[in-house]
Amino acid sequence: MKKVLVLGGTRFFGKRLVEQLINANYDVTIATRGLTKDDFGEKVKRIVFNRDNPNSMEQLAQQSWDVVYDNICYSPNEAKEIVNVLKGKVGRFVFTSTLAVYEECKNVIEDRFNPYTYPIQYGNREDYTYAEGKKLAEAILFQQADFPVVAVRFPVVIGENDYTERLLFHVKKIWNHQELVIKNLENEMTFITEEEAGEFLNWLSTNDVTGPINACSNDVITFNELIQICEEELGIKANIVDQGEKENQSPYDTYSHTYLSNQLAKDLGFKFSNVKDEIKKLIHSYQKNLVKK
């Protein structure tokens, strides 16, 4: 039975990952700050730890692990600490990274950002942007770890448990006939659902792929297509403008200049879904909650 450690696993796609691992009959331990309750019961073991406390981190090194998933590393200092703590203790390390490591590019493939040669700097999360923190974390993991590493570069993740509520933001604006600011309706995006993100991460526990890998659903969607889907499913015409108050600006504007190629993952055998169908289901779920209110 594989022993698996998940750093962060109580919400969103991390929770979906743990569910997949449990269903695969792995010996699963989740390590969190203990702030978010989970409903896994006796199906998992638990470690309460604090990444800012080296003594607390040492708990992770009391055992050896076949696979470690790190969903909550955002800085080079955090990456350096985990590399030191788990030295000689890990068969395989899966790091949750992001499409944000790439510069603006369409249908971007993995070699557009090379963490093996990226210059290393050290610092805490507050010292860097989200994108730069992830770049530097990747660089440290690939250049300094003594265990095999794979970095999963996700695009925008959507789902009912999305605590960022970015897709819900659009649904609410349209539902309430409010102005929605989108600078360019032709900008394109890729997505992945929380369920598929969990499935993909679990899939990585069954093979020996290493290095960076993109993971996204098959559809590339323009802003215009996304809004059209919302309009069709809600039965309401959106009020779209290209300039307006910041509070009405789409939170997807930041991510709509780059979209991923998932060809490498597909070549390795993973079958992705078509996300447009999933977006429609999600909009209906949001709509039911809005009607109740």
228 and 116 co-located in one domain: no
Give CA 35 to chain center in angstroms. Answer: 20
What is the span of the domain harbouring residue 280?
162-191+219-257+274-292
Q: What is the CA radius of gyration of the chain?
A: 20
Tell me the CATH number at 225.
3.90.25.10
At residue 293 the predicted structure's pLDDT band, cuts being 50, 70 and 90, is low
C-alpha pair distances (Å), 196 with each of 92, 216, 217, 221: 21, 9, 8, 17
Q: How far apart are CA 113 and CA 100, in angstroms?
A: 10
Q: How far apart are CA 21 and CA 96, in angstroms?
A: 16
At residue 228 the predicted structure's pLDDT band, cuts being 50, 70 and 90, is very high
119 and 247 co-located in one domain: no
Residue 209 is assigned to a structural domain of this protein: yes
pLDDT in tens, 9-38: 888 999 999 999 999 999 999 999 877 888
185 and 90 co-located in one domain: no
15 and 146 co-located in one domain: yes
- Averaged confidence pLDDT in the chain: 94
Over residues 60-79, mean pLDDT: 96
**Per-residue burial over 59-85, b = 16 or more CB atoms within 10 Å of its CB, e = otherwise:** ebeeeebebbbbbbbbbbbbbbbbbeb
C-alpha pair distances (Å), 91 with each of 64, 69, 177: 8, 11, 52
Higher pLDDT, 36 or 99: 99
**Look-up of token digits 């993100």:** 197
pLDDT in tens, 242-282: 999 999 999 998 777 889 999 999 999 999 999 899 999 99
202 and 179 co-located in one domain: no
